[in-house]
């Protein structure tokens, strides 16, 4: 599984598509299409476009929240928030071969996601981010460390956890030392897509 996700950003379908294209042109291998509060018709069209672009670039395409749209456009999977559709139901709709990721903010969330057999867990936020509405309590590096230490103390193998929420390039090594598998990045890649190669290089070196 790739260790770097780009979470798409933009207030219009044109902005979203442009940012996704830039990320793909700069070597991203995993895109999560996220566009909160978008008109459903426009979001569906964006997902269609994104799926085809990712197909051309042999890149993983995940849809945020919308399970039925993920199925309709034959995306590679879906990412579910804690208040979204249950993972079991999403798995039934999408099938066993699709990727299902789940959001977490606490140790108990992690345990829940493991019981639900999520393929990966998006744990955060690391710090404040303006790209997410209704932000969960900020974890910081200390919060990530407490969660991974709790898993180790209980002899639970650390699952594939992606740090999310204001993550920047300089955070990678510290997150990996804590035991975090990968990162989901939005802001820095949107504003500076050329940084993708640096992200991937650091992530894959450990």
Question: What whole-number distance in Å separates Cα of residue 117 and Cα of residue 35?
Answer: 25
Which CATH topology does 4-204 take? Answer: TIM Barrel (3.20.20)
Q: What is the pLDDT of residue 65?
A: 95
Distant-in-sequence, close-in-space partners of 44: CB < 8 Å, separation ≥ 6: 69, 72, 73
**Nearest by Cα to 87 from 71, 105, 103, 107:** 103
Angle at 36 between CA 170 and CA 84, to 5 degrees: 95
Q: How many CB atoms lie within 10 A of CB 48?
A: 15
CA distance readout (Å), 151 to 46, 163, 184? 38, 16, 21
Q: What is the pLDDT of residue 134?
A: 60
Instruction: Give bridge partners of residue 162 from the DSSP assignment.
Output: 122, 182
Question: What whole-number distance in Å separates Cα of residue 81 and Cα of residue 29?
Answer: 22
pLDDT along the chain (206 residues), means of 10: 97 97 98 95 98 98 97 98 94 97 96 97 88 73 96 96 96 96 97 97 89
How does DSSP classify residue 135? Answer: P
Question: What whole-number distance in Å separates Cα of residue 20 and Cα of residue 40?
Answer: 19
Q: Residue ranges of the domains in the chain? A: 4-204
Q: What is the pLDDT of residue 137?
A: 85
């Amino acid at each position: 599984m790739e260790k770097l996700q780009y979470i798409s950003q933009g207030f219009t379908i044109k902005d979203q598509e442009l940012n996704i294209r830039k990320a793909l042109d700069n070597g991203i291998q995993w895109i999560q299409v996220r566009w909160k509060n978008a008109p459903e018709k426009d979001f569906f069209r964006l997902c269609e476009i994104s799926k085809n672009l990712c197909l051309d670039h042999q890149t993983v395409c995940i849809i945020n929240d919308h399970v039925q749209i993920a199925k309709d456009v034959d995306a590679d999977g879906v990412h579910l928030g804690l208040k979204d559709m249950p993972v079991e139901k999403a798995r039934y709709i999408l099938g066993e071969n699709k990727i299902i990721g789940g959001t977490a903010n606490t140790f108990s969330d992690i345990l829940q996601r493991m019981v639900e057999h999520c393929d990966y867990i998006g744990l955060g936020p690391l710090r404040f981010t303006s790209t997410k509405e209704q932000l969960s309590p900020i974890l910081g590096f200390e919060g990530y460390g407490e969660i991974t230490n709790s898993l180790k103390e209980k002899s639970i193998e650390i699952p594939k956890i992606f740090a999310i929420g204001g993550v920047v390039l300089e955070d990678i090594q510290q997150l990996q030392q804590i035991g975090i598998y990968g990162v989901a990045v939005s802001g820095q890649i949107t504003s500076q897509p050329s940084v993708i190669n640096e992200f991937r290089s650091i992530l894959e070196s450990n």
